[in-house]
Amino acid sequence: MEQASWVPSSVDLDRPSAARMYDYFLGGSHNFAVDREAAKSVEQIFPGMSGAARANRSFLRRAVRYLLAQGIDQFLDLGSGIPTVGNVHEIAQQTNPGARVVYADVEPVAVAHSTALLADNPLAGAIQADLRDPDSVLGNEEVRSMLDFDRPIGLLMVAVLHFVPDADEPHEAIARYREVLAPGSHVAISHASWDGVSQEERESGERVNAIYRKTDSPLVLRSGPEIAAFFTGLEVVEPGVVPLSEWHPDSDDAYISAYAGVGRKA
Ligand SMILES: C[S@@+](CC[C@H](N)C(=O)[O-])C[C@H]1O[C@@H](n2cnc3c(N)ncnc32)[C@H](O)[C@@H]1O
């Protein structure tokens, strides 16, 4: 059994985690045998998973740059994952060295690594929090001290809402975040979808779901209109809630069955 010094004691090494499987898809090293086994089973069904994960990271980068261009200099990244190439604070602070970032994730390995990475960065921090509980996120001391809610914030929920089933009331959570954000704040979302997926691929997708059900994060793929509904109450910026690769494209990323968009609070 692996038990490296960086493994928080709360980690269950017998259970795969979506965060660590995603780290594996991106070529990271912060995953365990149980994660690699689950991730490889997903890859056997969907060989394009690594390309899809990279395409999603590419959207994250494009969205953060877009928000910086709108003058956003503080970010709250919900479901931020295990740090990897092109983290939000790196992208943001390259353009604006004074940019502030708080990362939040439920997964202890993701939080431990983010915290370690940010030890020397006074303008960025990481907390362990569940986005389904907005009051605990918004009331968190680090969030309150790092971010100024009287000024616009970039709220990121990238590749995370497809881990939140309707029963957990994602719309209510998003409404709560929207409510406390200052006008001019922006919300960026990417979300995996079944749209355009063949019946055969859907059946394969069911097998992928079965793998994710072993984690704490069962997958909930939604349709384009369902994903667009997450932007209720926001002005969706051009080009709208669109297939992820069509949102301000700047590179030749792999096709990914997902939608992405950015909404602005008026
Ligand atoms: C696919 S990764 C995406 C990471 C990063 N946002 C990106 O796009 O590269 C999804 C992350 O969401 C986290 N997550 C899942 N459900 C969550 C929840 N309810 N609250 C906070 N984080 C969550 C997982 O632990 C994982 O790190």
Domain tally, the chain = 1
- The CATH number assigned to the domain holding 172 equals 3.40.50.150
Q: Which of 189, 163, 167 is nearest to 178 (CA)?
A: 189
pLDDT, residue 63, reads: 98
Per-residue pLDDT at 108 exceeds 60: yes
DSSP result, the chain? ----TTS-TT--TTS--HHHHHHHHTT-S---HHHHHHHHHHHHH-TTHHHHHHHHHHHHHHHHHHHHHTT--EEEEET--S--SS-HHHHHHHH-TT-EEEEEES-HHHHHHHHHHTTT-TTEEEEE--TT-HHHHHT-HHHHHH--TTS--EEEEES-GGGS-GGG-HHHHHHHHHHHSPTT-EEEEEEEB-TT--HHHHHHHHHHHHHHTTSS-----B-HHHHHGGGTTSEEPTT-SEEGGGSS--S-PPP-SEEEEEEE--
Full domain range(s) for residue 70: 62-196+219-264
Amino acid at 112: A
The pLDDT tens digits for 42-79 are: 999 988 899 999 999 999 999 999 999 999 999 999 99
Alpha-carbon gap, residue 88 to 102, rounded angstroms: 9
206/189: higher pLDDT: 189
CA of 15 to the centre of ligand 1 (A): 16
Of 49, 75, 163, best ligand 1 pocket probe by most atoms within 8 Å of the beta carbon: 163
The pLDDT tens digits for 83-105 are: 988 999 999 999 999 999 999 99
Q: What are the tokens at 238?
A: 């051009």
Look at ligand 1, atom 23, and give the residue with the nearest C-alpha. Answer: 79
- CA angle 54/94/178 to nearest 5° reads 70
Within a domain: 186: yes
Q: What are the tokens at 106?
A: 């439920």
- Strand 242-243 vs strand 258-264: parallel, antiparallel, or unpaired? antiparallel
Alpha-carbon gap, residue 133 to 212, rounded angstroms: 22
Per-residue pLDDT at 194 exceeds 60: yes
Whole-model pTM above 0.75?
Answer: yes
pLDDT, residue 1, reads: 45
Within a domain: 102: yes
Within a domain: 14: no
Within a domain: 21: no
Q: Span 231-251, mean pLDDT?
A: 96
Q: What are the tokens at 221?
A: 């793929």
Within a domain: 12: no
Within a domain: 31: no
Look at ligand 1, atom 16, and give the residue with the nearest C-alpha. Answer: 163
33-45 helix and 49-69 helix, angle to the nearest 10 degrees: 100
Band of pLDDT at residue 226, cut at 50, 70 and 90? very high
Alpha-carbon gap, residue 252 to 124, rounded angstroms: 30
Q: Which residues surround ligand 1 with Cβ inside 6 Å?
A: 18-19, 22, 56-57, 60, 78-81, 105-107, 110, 130-132, 158-160, 163-164, 217
- The torsion angles phi and psi of 264, rounded to 5 degrees, stand at -115, 135
Within a domain: 206: no
CA of 19 to the centre of ligand 1 (A): 6
CA of 217 to the centre of ligand 1 (A): 9
12/163: higher pLDDT: 163
Alpha-carbon gap, residue 69 to 66, rounded angstroms: 5
Amino acid at 154: G
CA of 80 to the centre of ligand 1 (A): 5
Q: Span 170-179, mean pLDDT?
A: 98
pLDDT, residue 202, reads: 85
Question: Is-cis flag, bond preceding 122, omega within 30?
Answer: no
Look at ligand 1, atom 27, and give the residue with the nearest C-alpha. Answer: 81
Q: Which of 129, 156, 137, 176 is nearest to 260 (CA)?
A: 156
Band of pLDDT at residue 4, cut at 50, 70 and 90? low
Within a domain: 33: no
pLDDT, residue 217, reads: 87
